Amino acid sequence: MRNLSLSTDLISRQVQPVKSQGKPSASAYLDTRGTKSQRESKRTRSQRARERLQTKEHLARLAVGIHEVELAEKIERCHSRISVLTCGRHIHRVMPNFTCEFRLCPDCGRRRSRKLQSKYLPIMSAFMLHNKVTPVHLVLTQTHRKENRKQSAKRIKDSFTRLQRRSFWKNHFKGGTWSLEFTKDKNGLHHTHLHIVGFRRSFFAVELLRGEWLAATGDSHVLNLKRIEDIAAGLREVVKYVSKPLDIRRFGAEDLREFLKLKNMRMFGTFGEFRDFCTTFEPSDNDAAEVGELESFSRDLVEGCACPQCNEPLFDLRMSNKELPQFYEQIESSPPGKVGMRWN
Ligand SMILES: [Zn+2]
Ligand SMILES: [Zn+2]
Cα 103 to ligand 1 centre (Å): 8
Cα 24 to ligand 2 centre (Å): 7
Nearest alpha-carbon partner for 6 in 326, 341, 328, 332: 326
Q: Minimum-distance ligand to the CA of 307?
A: 2
Q: Minimum-distance ligand to the CA of 88?
A: 2
Which pLDDT value is given to residue 113?
87
Q: Minimum-distance ligand to the CA of 108?
A: 1
Residue type at position 95: M
Cα 108 to ligand 1 centre (Å): 4
Cα 308 to ligand 2 centre (Å): 7
Question: CA-CA distances (angstroms) from residue 247 to 59, 166, 185, 244?
Answer: 12, 33, 11, 7
C-alpha to C-alpha distance for 263 and 162, rounded to whole angstroms? 24
99 touches 108 (CB < 8 A): yes
Q: Minimum-distance ligand to the CA of 25?
A: 2
Buried b / exposed e along 181-204 (16+ C-beta atoms within 10 A): bbebeeeeebbbbbbbbbbbbeee
Cα 110 to ligand 2 centre (Å): 22
Tell me phi and psi for residue 121, to 5 degrees.
-60, -50
C-alpha to C-alpha distance for 114 and 112, rounded to whole angstroms? 5
Cα 56 to ligand 1 centre (Å): 8
Cα 339 to ligand 2 centre (Å): 11
Nearest alpha-carbon partner for 82 in 17, 7, 6, 2: 7
CA angle 85, 21, 326 (to 5 degrees): 40
Cα 82 to ligand 2 centre (Å): 19
Q: Minimum-distance ligand to the CA of 336?
A: 2
End-to-end CA, the chain: 26
Q: Minimum-distance ligand to the CA of 301?
A: 2
Question: CA-CA distances (angstroms) from residue 239 to 178, 183, 188?
Answer: 9, 16, 25
Cα 7 to ligand 1 centre (Å): 21
C-alpha to C-alpha distance for 129 and 123, rounded to whole angstroms? 10
Strand partners for 342: 16
Question: CA-CA distances (angstroms) from residue 81 to 96, 223, 308, 337?
Answer: 6, 43, 25, 29
pLDDT (tens digit, 0 to 9) for every residue of the chain, 344 residues total?
333 333 333 333 333 333 334 433 333 332 333 333 444 557 899 999 999 999 999 999 999 999 999 999 999 999 999 999 999 999 998 999 999 999 899 999 988 888 999 899 999 999 999 998 999 999 999 998 888 888 999 999 999 999 999 999 999 999 999 999 888 777 878 889 999 999 999 999 999 999 999 999 999 999 999 999 999 999 998 888 877 767 787 788 988 998 888 877 888 999 999 999 999 887 665 555 444 444 445 567 889 999 998 999 999 999 999 999 999 999 988 876 544 444 43
Cα 314 to ligand 2 centre (Å): 8
Strand partners for 339: 19
Q: Minimum-distance ligand to the CA of 109?
A: 1
Cα 241 to ligand 1 centre (Å): 16
C-alpha to C-alpha distance for 146 and 129, rounded to whole angstroms? 44
Cα 109 to ligand 1 centre (Å): 7
Cα 6 to ligand 2 centre (Å): 26
Cα 100 to ligand 1 centre (Å): 4
Cα 40 to ligand 1 centre (Å): 20
C-alpha to C-alpha distance for 54 and 75, rounded to whole angstroms? 12
Q: Minimum-distance ligand to the CA of 80?
A: 1
Which pLDDT value is given to residue 148?
85
Cα 22 to ligand 2 centre (Å): 10
C-alpha to C-alpha distance for 62 and 52, rounded to whole angstroms? 15
Cα 112 to ligand 1 centre (Å): 10
Cα 33 to ligand 2 centre (Å): 20
